Amino acid sequence: MVLDLPQLYARLNIPVPVTLPACEPKQIRGVNTLEMAGQTDLCFAEGLEQAQAVQGSRAAAVLVHDSFPAVTGPALIRVAEPRASFFLLAESFLPVSEVQGIHPSAVIDRSAVLGAGAAVGACAVIAAGVRLGERCTIGPGVYLGPGVIIGADSVIEANATVHRDSRLGERCTVHSGSVIGGDGFGFQWDGEGHRKVPQLGRVLIEDDVDIGCNCCVDRATLGETRIRRGTKIDNLVQIAHNTDIGAHVILVSQAGVAGSSTIGTGAVIAGQVAVSDHVKVGAGARIGGQSGVTKDVPAGAAVFGTPARPMKETLRELASLRQLPELLKQFKRQQQDLDTLRQRLDDLEGGSVRGNQPA
């Protein structure tokens, strides 16, 4: 993709400045940071303190606020929200998918149904009864198990696995290495050993869900594990059987949600959070990093720590803990002073008794 400055203004739906024709013609071929930009890159700057960095950048153009100071060097494109405008334009420079058409090495069962424009990469395996929506992209080495249904415009990246009967909505992305629909962790002690509980349910993922690399979403024991629309999941996240992840939830790297738990709409689960089984996290709740959630969290609450408690309360306790070494020193000094005073008092009382004894 190559854009000139007038085309950039057109994509941002803002008028071209009258001074633009006097500028040196510039082509935009990519996006980058101010420090690493080349002469055909587009960048953005949000703070006035970045004026020197903008002036020193080799970028062709920089998106800035209306109040940003005039500097020499890159062309300044003034917009209300530089960051949002930048990422809107950055979509124009996304690389074209390497998967085009149906690769001859792909193994596709005769009963599978591929929608118009679907693409399947090298060595992918598509089992019986699979249905792909229009314009789906199935990367190299992907396995789609029997009965899998994937909605239009979804992408399953290289070496991901979607097991039997799993269903994904439209415009979903499953990044490389993730496994959807593997067995849940269900075992029962039978007196001699841990007997596996059959995992007979499925996974249902609604529209516009993004699942990062090396995540696991387990199938339900019975019924379904559900991830609702618009939810975004970072790398290395574990979603256990029969969980219900609400709409537009954020799950950050290395978080784990145990079986039969519910995460409410719009909740944010930070990195390395552990949510215990059968716990309900309310809509809009915020769980701080590395917390252990063992009890229900009310809607809109912000909690932190292990066990997770109200964030302000926990932070005050942590601040107090930092003062503990000094408080212990003060206590020891006070204890020493008290022991000294007691000794002096004992000495005074002893001297008084001896002075009152008869000669």
Domain definitions of the chain by residue range: 3-93, 160-307
* In the predicted structure, residue 22 carries a pLDDT above the cut 50: no
Q: Report the pLDDT value the prediction gives residue 59, as an integer from 0 to 100.
A: 94
Q: Which of 175, 241, 248, 278 is catalytic?
A: 241
Domain 160-307 has CATH 2.160.10.10: yes
**Residue 83: pLDDT over 80:** yes
Average pLDDT, the chain: 92
CATH code of the domain occupying 3-93: 3.40.1390.10
Q: For residue 18, what pLDDT is reported?
A: 63
Q: How confident is the model at residue 14 (pLDDT cuts 50, 70, 90)?
A: confident
Q: How far is residue 355's CA from residue 358's CA, in Å, rounded to a whole number?
A: 8
**pLDDT of res. 251:** 98
**How confident is the model over 319-345, as pLDDT tens digits?**
888 888 888 888 888 999 898 888 888
Under the banding of pLDDT at 50, 70 and 90, the label for residue 353 is: low
For 169-185, the pLDDT digits (tens) are: 999 999 999 999 999 99
Told to judge if 175 belongs to the known catalytic residues of this protein, a careful annotator would answer no
Q: What is the pLDDT of residues 211-224, one digit of tens each?
A: 999 999 999 999 99
Residue-wise pLDDT tens digits, 241-275: 999 999 999 999 999 999 999 999 999 999 999 99
75 has which bridge partners?
Answer: 61
Tell me the pLDDT tens digit for each residue of 45-77: 998 999 999 999 999 999 999 999 999 889 999
**239: pLDDT strictly greater than 60:** yes
pLDDT at 194: 97
List of residues 6+ apart from 145 with CB closer than 8 A: 127, 130, 161, 162, 163, 164, 165, 166, 181
- Model-wide pTM > 0.85: no
pLDDT of amino acid 300: 97
